[in-house]
Structure 1
Amino acid sequence: MSVRIRLTLSYAGFLLVAGTLLLAIVWVFLLRYVPSGDIATSGPFVPNRGDLVRAFLPPAAWALLFLLLLGLVGGWVLAGRMLAPLDRITTATRQAAQGALSHRIRLEGRQDEFRELADSFDSMLARLEAQVAEQQRFAANASHELRTPLATTQVLLDVARSDPDADTRVLLERLAEINGRAIDLTQALLLLSRAEQVPFDREEVDLSLLAETAAESLLPLAERRGVAVEVSGDAALTSGSRALLLQLTTNLLHNAIVHNLPSGGTVSVTTASSPGWATLTLENSGEPLPPSEVARYTEPFQRGADRARSDHDGVGLGLAIAARIVHAHGGTLELVPRAEGGLRVTVALPGT
């Protein structure tokens, strides 16, 4: 039986039991005090218990039958009204199962259990729709970026096949470079997809130590590009994954070094601690950046107005990975273009 039928039978049964109990109370507290034999009296006729029972039972039976019918009809109507929000939620669930994630219940009325369930379901659909849209956009971007090295490899192989006298050493160097970039892109994609989904053990981490470690590991890249890196600041303690936060710091510093002036560039890394927060700030020199473009830098494969190209170190996922790691740690990532050129990146994480 459906829930509506069960509720209807429950309402009708409850009403019938309540009526029977009321009649039983009348019997127990009234009729039992009436004598069962003939009552001798010289005046008007006085009915005894049998007379009252014979007069009382037929109306009582009709009353119980009326209560049963009233309970069935009224219970059916009330159950339908009570279950109407569930029908709307079920309809929305079926539409979502068919891929219509833009549908919303938008249940009206007071803030009761059904309204809370409907609002929670709408919020879940909104988050799911945003995640699916992001995944579809990310899959399209990733397919585009992975197709480029594969297509380039195919072209090089076709050229080498058509020219048997070509220098294979140059070909192998180009293929190794393209293959290495494809491997880096694949690893970055895996890290980006896992940044917010994989649970991690939290430990106390000092952002100042991570900044020094990242600066030491990227020092050869900075020297090769003629960029001076300066690390300063106080201890900034936060709670999280040391590996992910080191990846965050490394990605931000790598991005600041690569996207800098052709020569004589600078990168400043500072850490600070304030009540409840630990901050990491990176400032790099460079060309003036329009704020409208800066807002898109945390999207995958974005760098300025163009997509990540093969002539840049990295695969265009540094800031995207950093944004995911910061979000997974409950922090904020702010990108602000500097008036004199370049970018200021501020990471704020909950302090310990």
Structure 2
Amino acid sequence: MDRAPGLSVRLKLTLSYTGFLMLAGTLVLAVVWLFLLRYSPRDGIDTLRELLNPGVFIGGWGPRVFLPAATLVMAFLLVFGLVGGWFLAGRMLAPLAQITDATRRASGGSLAHRIRLPGRRDEFRELADSFDAMLARLEAHVAEQRRFAANASHELRTPLAIAQTFLEVARKDPDGATGELVERLHAVNSRAIDLTEALLVLSRADQRSFTPEHVDLSLLAEEATETLLPLAGRRGVTIETTGDVTPTTGSPALLLQLTTNLVHNAIVHNLPDGAPEPGTVHVHTDTGPGGATLVVENTGERLTEGLVATLAEPFQRGTERARAARSGADHVGVGLGLAIVRSIAEAHDGTLALAARPGGGLRATVRLPPGHV
């Protein structure tokens, strides 16, 4: 915004200090004039008796003695107020100069700089600490967005490169088996579409572009379970759903996506085919003083805490997930399932907590604010 030039804050404070000091001096001198020169008893202090002598006062000596002294006092107060006010204003505004410098650096793209204003807490230091915290969040967010953009570009480039390879092979061998080629191209194209749709869902959740409504998480859990029952049957996985009415507030479509992603993740990353016992998925919803809770647990391979901490990052997969993705298994997602869950939960002022189960598998817990159905 373009603004007309004006006085600096330091000069304004200096003039304010000086004006206040001059006003205080004027009031003090007025009190001396009114109460000491005019209303003091004549039997007062000896030094005042001469000054308050009626003959002296009536003859004009009182004003002639008082006014020059008052003028000198006011001149001294003016100079003292200007010099002292300028110095004090500079001392008071020194932290603001550091904050302004940090703001200019941040606007120029330098998010690593921190003010770190020393001293005890006051208004300036609270402002500086808040600005440092904001810069830290912005720096982390920008770094995450850069990683996300790089990973998204890589993930989108992979199916396009595979399709290009298939087309090159088909062009060199026109008599080849077109049916198999079409099937492969269909699988690659489906993966690219799934990735694009997942990116759109993730962007929508990050922007919070939805109208909150009253939602029952238990109904969403049942709907997601019914939708994924065929996949669970093909994988030999049993799904159990428990819980009473679990009200919350948010987007029904996004919360259904959240629930579906968690159940889908629990199915496809369960015990491998041919395991001694079938895999299971347990979906539970509950409500309490802290809000609504959705818990999805599944059996599976043992996971380390280090691996679990990265599973909600975009395009992060465990070792088994990475091998399945390279092999082109049709049940493997695009690496955004849990990232979307976390983003949707945060968009609803909720949280996602992941923990490795002692016997193997994963426990995912989503906590959302309470609501009314």
TM-score (norm 2): 0.85
Supply the RMSD in Å over aligned alpha carbons: 2.3
CA displacement at 1:31 relative to structure 2: 4.3
C-alpha separation between the residues in 2 aligned to 1:334 and 1:31? 81
- Does 2:276 correspond to 1:266? no
1:289 aligns with 2:295: no
TM-score by length of 1: 0.89
Q: Counterpart of 1:121?
A: 131
Shift of 1:233: 2.6
Shift of 1:173: 2.9
User: Are residue 327 (structure 1) and residue 370 (structure 2) matched?
Assistant: no
Asked if residue 94 in structure 1 is aligned to residue 104 in structure 2, the reply is yes
- Relative distance call for 1:335 and 1:30 in structure 2 (3 A) is closer
Is 1:48 equivalent to 2:57 in the alignment? yes
Q: For 1:137-190, what per-residue CA distance to the aligned partner results, in whole angstroms no more than 9, with x for missing partners?
A: 111111111111111122222222222333344333322321221121111112
The one-letter amino acid paired with 2:226 is: E
Question: How much has 1:253 moved relative to structure 2?
Answer: 0.5
Report the counterpart of residue 27 of structure 1 in structure 2. Answer: 33
Deviation of the 1:86 alpha carbon: 0.8
Partner of 2:19: 13
**Is 155-164 or 131-140 further displaced after alignment?**
155-164
CA contact (8 A) 2:208 2:347 kept: no
Q: Distance in 2 between matches of 1:154 and 1:247?
A: 32
- Please give the secondary structure, in 1, of the residue aligned with 2:238: strand
Distance 1:82 1:227 in 2: 68
- Opposite residue 98 of structure 1, the aligned amino acid is G
Q: Does 1:186 align with 2:192?
A: no
Does the alignment pair 1:338 with 2:357?
Answer: yes
Give 3-state SS (helix, strand or coil) of 1:83's partner: helix
Q: Deviations over 1:274-327 (max 9, x none)?
A: 333332222222222222211111111112146554434211111111111222
Alpha-carbon separation, structure 1, partners of 2:285 and 2:182: 44
1:279 matched residue in structure 2: 293
Instruction: Mark the runs of 5 or more structure 2 residues left unpaired by the alignment.
Output: 1-6, 41-52
- Tell me how far 1:27 sits from its aligned partner: 3.0
Quick one: distance in 2 between partners of 1:286 and 1:7?
69
Report how far residue 32 of structure 1 moved.
5.1
The 5 Å alignment of 1:25-174 reads 25-31=31-37, 46-49=55-58, 50-174=60-184
Counterparts of 2:24 and 2:285, CA distance in 1: 73
Specify the alignment match of 1:39 in structure 2.
none
2:308 pairs with 1:298 = no
Give 5+ residue unaligned stretches, structure 1. Answer: 35-43
Structure 2 CA distance for partners of 1:280 and 1:51, relative to 1, 3 Å? same
> Following the alignment from structure 1 to structure 2, what is the Cα–Cα distance between the partners of residues 149 and 133?
25
- The aligned residue for residue 41 of structure 1 is none
Residue 157 of structure 1 aligns to which amino acid in structure 2? L
User: CA separation in 1, counterparts of 2:332 and 2:32?
Assistant: 93
2: CA distance, partners of 1:179 / 1:297: 25
Count the aligned residue pairs: 343
